[in-house]
A and B are shown apart, each in its own frame.
Chain A
Amino acid sequence: MAEPLLDIAGLSLAYDTARGAVRALDGVSLAIPRGGAMGLVGESGSGKSSVVLALLGLLGKEATVTADRMSFAGEDLRAAAARLRGARIGTVFQDPAAALNPALRIGAQVAEPLVQHRGLSPRAALARAVELLAEMGIPRPAAVAQAYPHQLSGGMKQRAVIATALACEPELLLLDEPTTALDVTVEAQILDLLEKLRAERGVSMLLVSHNLGIVDRLCDELTVLYAGRVAEAGRTADLLDAPRHPYTRGLLAALPRIDRGRIARLAPIPGSLPDLTQPDPGCNFRPRCPFAAAGCAAPQALRHGDARAVACHRAEAVRDLPWPQPEPVATTRAPPGASLLEAQDLARSFSLDSGFAGMFRRRAEVRAVDGVSLTLRRGEVIGLVGESGCGKSTLGRLVLRLIAADRGRIGFDGEEVPPKPPDAFRRRAQIVFQNPDTSLNPRQTVDQALRRPMERFGLARGAAATAEVERLLALVRLTPAYRTRYPHQMSGGEKQRIGIARALASRPDLLVCDEAVSALDVSVQAAVLNLLGDLRDTLGVAYLFISHDIGVVAHVADRIAVMYRGAIVEEGAAAQVLSPPYHPYTQALLSAVPVVGARGRAAARMRLAGDVFAAPAERGCRFAHRCPAKLGAICEDQAPPVQVPAPGHRIACHIPAAELARAPAALAAAE
């Protein structure tokens, strides 16, 4: 067997912190052959980004790196990292906006490594940079090379970053969450590009990601990290089809999968990451493992089997035992009841330049929400999906009257909601936010945060309020001891549950969940999704569930509304929206989602050019400029009619429903 390009053995890393040494990596080994692609997955805190930084020799003074072997193409990385990075090892980080220098032109940034490492003249380097940009699929590369980063969209910026990383023809590309900051349709374009680069240039890749679907698409091999140690490693297909390590099995069980549709409950992994200041010499997943037994306290070596390595002595013994499924709380689920929320023709524009500048210029406006009507019944979950900037968060806030509408009416439980709604409406309609770090007041204890809504609406006081706080904590599966905690004393998942409890404190009938689980790790996300499902079943709460993650929406929603540039282009029962006939935009969205176990789905792929911020259509269909199925002038000139292929299913498109129905199923395994 040929010598691997990258060969790491026993890589350990400790950060010196005020709380003592944090052992971020503990004996990590991985090897990538020439032309191979390795995926490195794990939840936040697993140490996957630390691996990349350690390889590049970019860790600060407070980090101590030790390794048995760290070689790249026969050279010792510990000595040569500074010389190799940028030249023979290219790197792409998560946020393209942060990776590019806002004060330099794109061309100069792509050319820089060529001048630095290859000794090219600036003029020759710039010419090469334009070629590279063209190779990355950037239209009009010469113009883009002259542009500044802020003039490019997120996807274009990431292409420029990849061009920079590839400028010196590196043998290895380190990709640290390269598409996490991007929309799903743009992510699909970048993944296509990476796939093409690998095929054409034979560049090796180390892809760090929390998204198993992406890894499945790009990588032959997979290493699963848990709390700084390798839990399992092997061929991607084997590992995802039949995981052996309990942690890998748990990760897959907790993942809401669009192809599985709406299953009863996800299986969360209980507990949280171990304290890395006191590394457990035995299996560090033991406290959370459903199969833990006596021998688990002993150190676990990676056991190499047939083309895979597992750090679990019981992996084979428990392989046929099923992963424990949480019991459903409510067995009966009331069907959605009478209409609760009726929004008609809501619209809201934002002025782009305000204040002084706006007084002299004609005001540029963005129509964030443009004539949306929506009906939500009691106990119903509507999933609202769309790319960033499509207006879904604005719609959620319009419905709650948190921002003023330009026009449109809102009816709640049969009554008109005025622009300044009465307390009765405020009590019954609440919101859960995306970011658990900012949704709680850092200076308030859990008790204060949960008590306030009850006092505000006169629901409970004194001892009754205390009892109610404890009831709410129990509802979100937290013990009464949490009452005295401050936000900084809780994990992200715990904070998110307090945010949900606070929204529930006033006993609302409607919750707007604005990306309520997007900031959470998969294992915690599963717990929160289950909780939301239980609350709907037991309390009959209706949700407007806003998310960019279609897998999550497919899991929770009764109905799905797809939004594009301020309007709903398709709406219907979840099963109707997730299978043909589709609106072309829905089809593109669905086919862009990286799904685990969907190898060979390429035939059904439909790609969108550009992104949501491309030129606005003044009249006609707002999707026309990106639509791959555009009919012609009619799409640009006339607003599309709303077609009803089935009761409750509405598609706003010029293409006849019968023709839309012939689209291939975008989800391989959709029933």
Chain B
Amino acid sequence: MSASAATAAPRRRLPRTLVVGLVVVGAIAILAILGPWIAPYDPQGFSMRMRLRPPSAEHWFGTDEFGRDVFSRVLAGAHHSLLMGFGATAISLVIGVPLGLIAAFHRGWVEEVVMRGVDLMISLPPVLLGLLILAVTEPGLFKTVLAVGLVYVPIMTRLARAVALELLAEDFVEAARARGEGAFHILVREILPNAWPPLIVETALRITFAILLGSALSFLGLGPQPPDSEWGLMIAESRPFISEAPWIGLAPGICLCLLLIAVNVVGEGLRDLLDPRMRGRGHG
């Protein structure tokens, strides 16, 4: 047979949304890391003479009721939100995906136990579930991350199972069975590489929810404790001053929005990039 027209791998152009989102998220991440060094003031330094000052050249985002620089506090709190988003999602991924794969592979009672457990967890509202996990122990950043991560385990498990079920029906899996391959090989070598794209897209979108839920829990006082600065906590603390000094709550609120939108845009961009249905097909 002659060399036939092998369609060259389509050159994948990065979607513009992905690039923009990544730039914003990257910038926020860099600011969060460099925060302690570039902050113009001590985020926890009181200054009673400078209480409730509006944004100005010295205090870009103004000052709060204790005269602390809001810009410095926002910088210091950025890493909390990022850790909350990425850490919690990583936890849900690490626990949820293997559970989902195993449930898909071992139909029968294993699947029933895993999936009914997941159903049980999903039936509780996320905030309530987070509250449940946090209420029994002392609050703190890493507990919040863990709690948010556990809340999203069921969603990852369900998705991983659904994706794996579809892939397990494909002929190449039957070919692996015909070679007498074991569960580990089939799941790790045959299924997982094909399951990544939808999982990554879901993960990216899930980070948004994790940040939001983390901030909500902080708002309720179950995250990092004062005088630590966390965006959700800052918003909670700003409530009494909402009319006289709105910038105290607005600054972390707008930053939170920006981060959420950027992460979401990255998720959308990844979906455009990785979802095979979106990829340009040849002529029919």
Interface set of A (CB-CB < 8 Å, partner B):
15, 17-19, 22, 24, 45, 49, 270-276, 287, 400, 402, 421, 423, 426, 429-431, 433-435, 438-444, 452-453, 456-457, 477-479, 485-486, 488-491, 494, 499, 502-503, 506, 527
B227 within 8 A of A: no
Q: Knowing A15-B283, A18-B280, A24-B283, say if A491 contacts B5 (CB, 8 Å).
A: yes
CB distance from A379 to the nearest CB of B (A): 21
* Chain B interface, DSSP helix/strand/loop, else mixed: loop
Would A438 and B170 count as touching, CB distance under 8 A?
A: yes
Would B280 and A19 count as touching, CB distance under 8 A?
A: yes
Q: Knowing A400-B178, A402-B178, A431-B174, say if A489 contacts B7 (CB, 8 Å).
A: yes
Residue of A nearest to B194 (CB): A443
A17 to chain B: which residues have CB within 8 Å? 280, 282-283
Interface set of B (CB-CB < 8 Å, partner A):
1-10, 170-172, 174-175, 177-181, 190, 193-194, 280, 282-284
Would B1 and A271 count as touching, CB distance under 8 A?
A: yes
Looking at A24, A273, A443, A527, the one whose CB has the most chain B CB atoms below 10 A away is: A443
B283 to chain A: which residues have CB within 8 Å? 15, 17, 22, 24, 45, 276
Would B5 and A272 count as touching, CB distance under 8 A?
A: yes
Looking at A272, A421, A485, A503, the one whose CB has the most chain B CB atoms below 10 A away is: A272
Ranked 10 nearest A-B pairs via Cβ: A426-B180, A443-B193, A18-B280, A439-B171, A433-B171, A22-B283, A441-B172, A272-B4, A438-B171, A438-B170
* Chain A interface, DSSP helix/strand/loop, else mixed: loop
Cα distance A604–B41 in the bound complex, in angstroms: 98
CB distance from B241 to the nearest CB of A (A): 54
Cα distance A431–B3 in the bound complex, in angstroms: 27
- A-B Cβ contacts below 8 A, count: 89
Would B9 and A488 count as touching, CB distance under 8 A?
A: yes
Cα distance A400–B179 in the bound complex, in angstroms: 10
Would A489 and B3 count as touching, CB distance under 8 A?
A: no
Would A402 and B4 count as touching, CB distance under 8 A?
A: no
Cα distance A400–B178 in the bound complex, in angstroms: 7
Q: Knowing A426-B178, A456-B181, A489-B7, say if A440 contacts B2 (CB, 8 Å).
A: no
**What are 18 A-B contacts with C-beta separation under 8 Å?**
A18-B10, A49-B284, A271-B2, A402-B174, A402-B178, A433-B171, A435-B171, A438-B171, A441-B194, A443-B193, A456-B179, A485-B6, A486-B9, A489-B6, A489-B7, A489-B9, A494-B4, A499-B175
CB distance from A372 to the nearest CB of B (A): 20
Would A456 and B180 count as touching, CB distance under 8 A?
A: yes
B5 to chain A: which residues have CB within 8 Å? 272-275, 491
B3 to chain A: which residues have CB within 8 Å? 479
Cα distance A494–B10 in the bound complex, in angstroms: 18
Would A421 and B180 count as touching, CB distance under 8 A?
A: yes
Cα distance A274–B283 in the bound complex, in angstroms: 12
Looking at A18, A485, A527, the one whose CB has the most chain B CB atoms below 10 A away is: A18
CB distance from B2 to the nearest CB of A (A): 5
A423 to chain B: which residues have CB within 8 Å? 180
